[in-house]
Structure 1
Amino acid sequence: MINCIIVDDEPLAATLLENHISKIDHFKLVGKAENAMEAYKLLQNQKVDLMFLDIHMPHLNGIDFLRSLSQKPKTIFTTAYRDFAIEGFELEAVDYLLKPITFERFFKSVERVLRNSDPKDDFIILKTEGMHQKLTLSEIVYIESQGNDIKVTMASNVSFISKSKITDLEFALVSKGFVRIHRSFIINARFVSAYNNNEVHLGDHKIPIGRSYKQEFDTFTSFVSKNKLL
């Protein structure tokens, strides 16, 4: 059983999350809080395995609250804004959910908590052409947004089309060696062969760098340098 708490000052958002949690057999909601101080008391008095944490709250926002904790439960950020995804990544959050949160997106997020997989064998499951396709992360070269679909290109040069949004995958993959460098592209840093300020080369594939993704690109270059990928 995974003990959960919800920290959110919006009653409707908290109720929606509570309904989602009630549908997962292995999840148990052990408390709700409307601000950081109430959440802190819950963490002191309850065994909490997973915290659903809103970012915009009175007095102390969710990012600063999580950063202040010496012992952090697994955390899934919930927010109406995508601006804090990098901070969430740095705090090793499980995921970053954008409101309003559908059950499908919620389930994709909590599946990572339920699944205890070896990072070398980590994977995603996408519905493609009526089938649920298991795609090993280490074999994905890049992901491209194509309107209401995404195209996933593999190392074998095979591609898969799925009716998904690129934002649904962005936060989950960034801690796995992936980075979003354009509104339409997420790349796997393991396949980078060259880059400059305008584009990244993944073998024969050339991916443009979007101006508004400079911070993500800086994170990417730091990752490349740290892991000696080039």
Structure 2
Amino acid sequence: MINCIIVDDEPLAAKLLENHIFRIDHLKLIGKADNAMEAYKMIQSQSVELMFLDIQMPHLNGIDFLRSLSQKPATIFTTAYRDFAIEGFELEAVDYLLKPITFERFFKSVERILRNTAAPQEDFIIFRTEGMQHKIFLSEIIYFESQGNDIKVVLATKESFISKNKITDLQATLSSKGFIRIHRSFLINIDFVSAFNTTEVLLGNHHIPVGRSYRQEFDAFISAVSKNRLL
């Protein structure tokens, strides 16, 4: 949800914006103000991420108000006049809407913000087992264990299943996603590492051996990761 406020001294214009906002699920209207001072109090006391700001207002116009803010929320100017468009864009406003504002024009403006704030899609991988295809998020996988021509997938949910895959293929695909080969039979998710030494890695209750030929690569990986985060 994107918290937004309306700053407009015209009741009908403010009501129209309110109706537009209520039609978009990802917008949450947390306040309305009819002057800059009221809007300032809202911004100081709440997390305001988007402001619909009228330009022609009493005491302090929208341009000067936005210019005065040290921390500016994303702002869409709303006005009946074209004259201030250049100044509005100089302040890096998201858009400049002319009244009366249609919903189509309103949505086009808001869609830019929705697109920029959309959460990234979590990575997943598809496994085939007995005629079924399973979508598994990488964050759920603790480790893979090679079992002949199959692979055992062990999940954080304490479930596991067998799939027709090669550990070398998974290593090639997932090495850039936080997975590392520490043994000829094991590919682990580094996020689940809770303890380790030169011969063994602990992933929760799972004890995984570190193969001799993989020890140097594992030590280098741990050193690189430790510079950016604690394990």
TM-score, normalisation: structure 1: 0.50
Deviations 1:103-149 (A, max 9, x none): 000000000000129xxxxxxxxxxxxxxxxxxxxxxxxxxxxxxxx
CA distance in 2, matches of 1:15, 1:106: 14
Q: Which residue does 1:153 correspond to in 2?
A: none
CA distance in 1, matches of 2:113, 2:13: 21
| Residues 203-222 of structure 1: pairs in structure 2 closer than 5 A | none
Question: Is 2:83 the counterpart of 1:78?
Answer: no
CA distance in 1, matches of 2:76, 2:8: 12
State the shift of 1:57 in Å.
Answer: 0.1
CA distance in 1, matches of 2:92, 2:23: 26
| Residues 22-101 of structure 1: pairs in structure 2 closer than 5 A | 22-101=22-101
State the shift of 1:61 in Å.
Answer: 0.1
CA distance in 1, matches of 2:7, 2:92: 18
Q: Which residue does 1:148 correspond to in 2?
A: none
RMSD between aligned residues: 0.9
The residue type equivalent to 2:98 in the other structure is L
- Runs of at least 5 residues in structure 2 that lack an aligned partner in the other structure: 118-231
Q: Which residue does 2:10 correspond to in 1?
A: 10
CA distance in 2, matches of 1:101, 1:73: 21
Q: Which residue does 1:170 correspond to in 2?
A: none
What's the secondary structure of 1:105's corresponding residue? helix
What's the secondary structure of 1:97's corresponding residue? strand
CA distance in 2, matches of 1:63, 1:29: 22
Identity %: 87
State the shift of 1:76 in Å.
Answer: 0.1
What's the secondary structure of 2:116's corresponding residue? coil
Q: Which residue does 1:111 correspond to in 2?
A: 111
CA distance in 2, matches of 1:75, 1:38: 16
Q: Which residue does 2:19 correspond to in 1?
A: 19
What's the secondary structure of 1:115's corresponding residue? helix
The residue type equivalent to 1:12 in the other structure is L
CA distance in 2, matches of 1:58, 1:3: 25
Based on CA coordinates, which of the two structures has the bigger radius of gyration? 2
What's the secondary structure of 1:31's corresponding residue? strand
What's the secondary structure of 2:66's corresponding residue? helix
TM-score, normalisation: structure 2: 0.50
Q: Name segments (4+ residues, structure 1) moved above 6 Å.
A: none
